[in-house]
Every structure is written in structure tokens, then in C-alpha cells.
Structure 1
Amino acid sequence: MTTPIININALTPAETEEAVKTAGVHKTRLTGAKAFVSAMFAGSFIGFGALFYLIVTSDPAMSWGPKRFVGGLAFCMGLVLVLCCGAELFTGNSLMASDLASRRISWPAMLRNWVIVWFGNLAGGLLLVALITLAGTMGLNDGLVGETAVATAVAKVTPDWGTLFVRGILCNILVCLAVRVGFSARSVGDKVLGILLPISGFVAMGFEHCVANMFFLPIGLICKLLGFGSDVAGVDALTVTAILYNLSAATLGNIIGGTVFVALGYWFINRRPGK
């Protein structure tokens, strides 16, 4: 009887690319209902990470740098849940562009997945916003969590559109690299450790993640309406229109960052000659 060979090494970049492509093909075969519900899970998972970030960064005793770093680590919980529990995340699905370039999937199949997953992520994020509001969570730390939510949301809607767009590009470069690290891992522990720095890094650097903003911005607006953050500079700029303004820039930037700079880049590097 032959003893099975157990390999504990991470997948090579070429093997990781194949794993990413296989997953991309599977995503196009999901029914609309399954893709939407799975996307709702992802939207809520990322929202939990965003809430964890708000709670950690509401501590006024922490200085700016450590607060950003610790808050970024807390936010990582969202992608840990997505990768380890399984869910459809719009930003990560930018990697499906490598399947498109390899002619494994079609334009309509990829765009169908993206549209369903984007709205599913939004639905999951908004559902969590409603539940968190009813739970009174934003009143924690004598209301400083709610104040932090308003300040965070205002900071995301006040930059110009081009700035938000570029921040979206930079964000999804790191997110998709983190997803690739997850695909390369052979254990849950590897996945968790591998994504910590890329994800905490993009949060600390202030980049824009459209799915995270599907929680950050609505919860900030709700907190504003509940009376939190009335003394935050520029709070009047936080409106439904401003939320759509941010999401449009962040979404398009995330698409460019994930498809052009990661998916197509690694597709080119790993494609076989003559293909």
C-alpha cells in the first residue's frame, strides 16, 4: 500500500493561478439565487469587520498610527470569514478576469456574476446596518463608536471623485493579492496569517473598498440621523447622494485594480507559450 504524500508547502504562483481560474469558472455556474445569498453573507462578513474597526478605533487614548494599524487588523476579520467560510465578494471576483482572458468564461457570464454579487453584497451590508442599529451597538463607549462612524463616513465622501477612484484601485490591488494568498494556502491558519498584512495595510493606508463602504457609509448616515457626530467637521456632506458618489468611484477603482493590475498581470505571467 502506497503512503500518500502530504505537501505542507503553499501552492506555487502558477498553481495558485490555476486554483483562481477553477474557482472563477465555478462562480459562473452558480444560480442567481445562490450567488445573491452567498454575496449577502460576504457583505455582512465585511460589515462585521468594519464594525470591529469602528469599535477599536473609537478609543481616544490611542495615537493615530497605532490606531490605524490595530483597526486594520480588526477589519481583517471580514475577509477571514469570506475566505474561510466561503462567500461571494465583489472585489475578490475581479480575479475572474483571468478566466476571461483564458477564454474559460464569457463576458456575459462574468458581468452577470459581478452585478448579482455587487447587489448581494449591498443587501448584506444594509441588513447588518439595520440589525446593528436595532442592537444599539453604536452607543458603545459612551457614544464614541457612533461618533467614529460619522467621522469615518464623512472622511470617505469629502475627497474628490478622482481621488476616491485611485484609492479604489490601490485598495483592490491589495485585496486581490490577499485573496490569491488565500488560494495558495493549504490550511485555515495559513489563510488567516497570509491575509493579515495586505488587508490591514489597505485599511491603514486609507484606501477605498466598495463593499466595506456599503457598511461604513450607511451606518455613518444612520448615526448622524440619530444625533451622533454633530460636531464632526463637514458632517452636512454625509447624504445618500454622497454615499452613491463614493460607491461609484470606489467600485470602478476596485474593478481596475483587481482586473488590470492583479488578474490580467498574473494571467500574462503564467500563461503557457502559444496560448
Structure 2
Amino acid sequence: MSYVTPSDFVQKMIDAGAAKATMSTRDTLIRAYMAGAILALAAAFAVTITVQTGNALVGAVLFPVGFCLLYLLGFDLLTGVFTLVPLALLDKRRGVTVRSMLRNWGWVFLGNLGGALTVAVMMAIVFTYGFSVDPNEVGVRLGEIGHSRTVGYAEHGGAGMLTLFIRAVLCNWMVSTGVVAAMMSTSVSGKVIAMWMPIMLFFYMGFEHSIVNMFLFPSGLMLGGDFNLVDYMVWNEIPTVLGNLVGGLTFVGLTLFATHARTGPDRLTVLDAPVVAPRREEVSA
């Protein structure tokens, strides 16, 4: 499947980060909007399958179809740019600054939010026949998800917040691994297989993804979930964004950059280095 070695695909990661940091606002917003919308549709698809089959594993196995599509179409998720753009900054790529990095993150966040909210409204209409009837079984489930993953955390206080944050860290560890894994192959089939595995894992394990949540929780609010906007922002979205940043950058971006782009000298090189004899003055001293 045309395997690309780590030393080569890490350079692709840095190149991708530089391209995203210097992309025009127009293109950044369009690509982020479409990424948020496609991922939201995939989430709606997975929840529908889970409700209809009663098997969460089936939904998790099929959810990555959305991630694969948006990646192959060249669209951007906040979770991905959290990992890639800082590498271009560390590599001192031309035009990449802290300001350009934060600018990219801000526009991608807004674009993802816009796309996810658009699909949330559309699906709420579908689940309620234009808000003319009570939500169907899938709509009710979306409301329950919103309650359990906001108020459910709040009921545990600090321990709940810690659990939420760690789930967000673990999520983008896996999601960013999927982004990077796609760079391991030059064939479409190789990219899809490599992406599928970590994305399936994060979804089935119930880890917290900031963009998926931009669909799930607004949908839940529109469909009668027993929580409010403050619950969503304080007890999910804000901690999830921070956890996603830590998880993707720490466990994927920086580790790969440190060992494959800034590889240290091997032990044989150090051992074989010539020994310089001390000068006579140093010995006498």
C-alpha cells in the first residue's frame, strides 16, 4: 500500500501545518465549514445505527466514513490543526508565527462550528418533521447524550471535570493519529485503512471530540435534552477543546517531531567520536 516511512511523513506533517497556517481566510473557513458538516452527518449516521441496531460497536465501526471523506476532500478539523500547525512554527517555516497559528485555529473553530450547527438544525428538522411532532427515537437519544455528557459530569464535580478533560486528551490522541496515519500511505485504500482504526476506537470508547460535540449537544438542546447552553459550554465544549489541544499536540505532534524530525545522534556516533587529549596546561592545573 505504498508505505511512507516516519521520517518522510513527519516532513509531510510539517508541510501541511505550514500550508494551513498561511492559507487565506476564505479557504480556511470553507474547508473548516465542510469538515464540521461532514463529521456531523457521520455522527448522526452512527447514532442512528446504534439506536436502530442496539449495538454501539456497529455505529463505531461505520462512523469513520465521515472522517475519511473529509480528509480525502482536503477539509480541516480543529483537532487536526491543533497538531499540525505548531510543528511548522517549531520548524521555523516562512510566514508561520504564533499569530498566524492562533488565527488559523480561530477560523477553523468558527468554520467547524458553522458546519456542525447547520447539520444539527437539518437533522432536528428531520427527526421532528419540522418541529411539528415530538422527536423520534434517534432524536430522544441525542437529548439523552447531551444530558449525560454535561450534567452527568457536573454531578461528579472536580472528578467529573478531570474525567471530561482526560477523555478529550485521549480523543485527539487517537484522532490526530488518524490524521497522521493517512500520511503513511500514498494510496487511497492505504489512507482509509490507516485512518479507520484510531477513529473507530475513539468513537466506541466515548472519548470527547470538540467538533462532534458541536453537533451532538446543539441537536440535543433543540430536541428537548435536559441541559442548557451553559452546561454545554462549561461542562463539555471548553474543557474538550483544551483537552483535544493537549492530546493531539503532546502525544502525536511533538513526539513524532522530536524523534523523527529532530532525531538525536545514535549511541554509536557518540561512542565513536574522537577523544581530544587534554593540553599540558590543563593537566598541570
Tell me the TM-score range normalised by the shorter chain: 0.7 to 0.9
2-structure distance, mates of 1:199, 1:181: 11
- In structure 1, the partner of 2:238 is 248
Q: 1:137 to 1:49 in 2, by over 3 A?
A: farther
> Equivalent residue for 2:111?
120
Could you list the runs of 5+ residues in structure 2 that have no partner in the other structure?
A: 154-159, 266-285
Q: What's the offset of the Cα at 1:50?
A: 0.6
TM-score of the aligned structures, taking structure 1 as reference length:
0.86
Match of 1:110 in 2: 101
The alignment partner of 1:44 has SS state of helix
Aligned pairs (5 A) from 1:1-275: 8-59=1-52, 62=54, 67-95=55-83, 96-104=85-93, 105-136=96-127, 143-157=136-150, 158-159=152-153, 160-224=160-224, 236=226, 238-245=227-234, 246-272=236-262
Counterpart of 1:86, as a letter, is: G
Whether the 8 Å contact between 2:127 and 2:138 is mirrored in structure 1 is no
* Counterpart Cα distance in 2 of 1:24 and 1:11: 18
Contact 1:48-1:77 at 8 Å conserved across structures: no
Shift of 1:252: 0.1
Cα distance between partner residues in 1 of 2:258 and 2:7: 11
Q: Within 2, Cα distance between the matches of 1:35 and 1:239? A: 30
Unpaired runs of at least 5, structure 1: 1-7, 225-234
Instruction: Report if the CA contact (8 A) 1:162-1:249 is conserved.
Output: no
Aligned residues: 251
CA RMSD of aligned residues (A): 2.0
| CA distance, structure 2, for counterparts of residue 46 and residue 123 of structure 1 | 12
Higher gyration radius (CA) = 2
Structure 2 residue matching 1:132: 3-state secondary structure: helix
User: Contact 1:52 / 1:75 at 8 angstroms: preserved in 2?
Assistant: yes
CA drift at 1:98: 1.8
Secondary structure of residue in 2 paired with 1:179:
helix
Letter paired with 1:182: A
- The residue type equivalent to 1:187 in the other structure is S
Distance in structure 1 (CA, Å) of the matches to 2:174 and 2:263: 28
Shift of 1:31: 1.1
- Give the TM-score taking structure 2 as reference length: 0.83
| Amino acid of the structure 1 residue aligned with 2:113 | L
Q: Which residue of 1 aligns with 2:157?
A: none
Contact 1:14 1:270 in 2 (8 A): yes
What amino acid is aligned across from residue 184 of structure 1 in structure 2? M
Aligned mates of 1:175, 1:261 — CA distance in 2: 11
Structure 2 counterpart of 1:5: none
Instruction: Please identify, of 169-178 and 28-37, the stretch whose mean Cα deviation from structure 2 is larger.
Output: 28-37
The letter of the residue matching 1:191 is: K
- CA offsets 1:194-219 (integer angstroms, 9 cap, x no match): 12221111111110000000001011
Is contact 1:101–1:264 with CA below 8 Å preserved after alignment?
Answer: no
1:121–1:211 Cα contact (<8 Å) kept: yes
User: CA offsets per residue over residues 119-166 of structure 1, 9 Å max, x none?
Assistant: 110011001112222334789xx9211121112222221212221111
Kept in 1, the 8 Å contact 2:64–2:200? The answer is yes
- Give yes or no for contact 1:57–1:148 (8 Å, CA) kept in 2: no
Q: What's the counterpart of residue 232 of structure 1?
A: none
Identity across the alignment (%): 30
